[in-house]
Structure 1
Amino acid sequence: MNLLIQLSDREKDRIIEMAWEDRTTFDAIFRQFGIPEKDVIKLMRREMKESSFKMWRKRVQSRKTKHQKLIANQPVKRFKCYRQKSISQNKIT
């Protein structure tokens, strides 16, 4: 949790944005920011309205695309849905 305190507002916004993207795995967030899934969840809980957080959690728990180990047998060619806006600050893509 100490890492979350040291993040800039821009980094927090980017992590939240990546967490909302269906095809961005928690592993990708970890590789880019060094924040494990449990801390991403804590960040989302702290930064979002309660109703938005609950909606996000419900959505994430039913998506295997958010967990790299669940999609290990499927090639992942992108970290976000093709319908989502292009993000130039992403270090992974």
Structure 2
Amino acid sequence: MTFTAQEEDRIIEMAWEDRTTFEAIKFQFGLKEQEVIKFMRKQLKPRSFIVWRKRVQGRKTKHKKLRHFEVGSFKCSRQKTISHNRISKR
């Protein structure tokens, strides 16, 4: 697959985020976990890849099946809802 520079940056950002699962990356970009690992190996410097790999390996928050909590549709519960170009008040 080929991605734009903007999409590549977003994939890297999502891969580094603790709470973004590999399933979310697959949903948004079509990359399975192993493909994300290959992508990160290609995109990052060798030392950065090692640091990232240590960070995500076995991390429960990166795998939806291992989580003990459920996250909604990729949206913070405190995020304000927007309707008709007006931000709703709490």
TM-score relative to the length of structure 2: 0.76
Instruction: Tell me the secondary structure at the aligned position of residue 27 of structure 1.
Output: helix
Q: Residue 54 of structure 2 aligns to a residue in which SS?
A: helix
- Whether 1:65 and 2:61 are equivalent positions in the alignment is yes
Gaps of 5+ in 2: 77-90
Alpha-carbon separation, structure 2, partners of 1:80 and 1:41: 25
Relative to its length, the structure with more strand (as a share) is 2
Number of the residue aligned with 2:23: 27
CA drift of 1:62 comes to 3.5
Q: Secondary structure at the match of 1:17?
A: helix
TM-score (norm 1): 0.74
Matched pairs, number = 76
Q: Give structure 1 stretches of 5+ with no counterpart.
A: 82-93
* Runs of 4+ with >3 A deviation: 77-81
CA RMSD, aligned part only?
1.9
Structure 1 or 2, whichever has the larger Rg, is 2
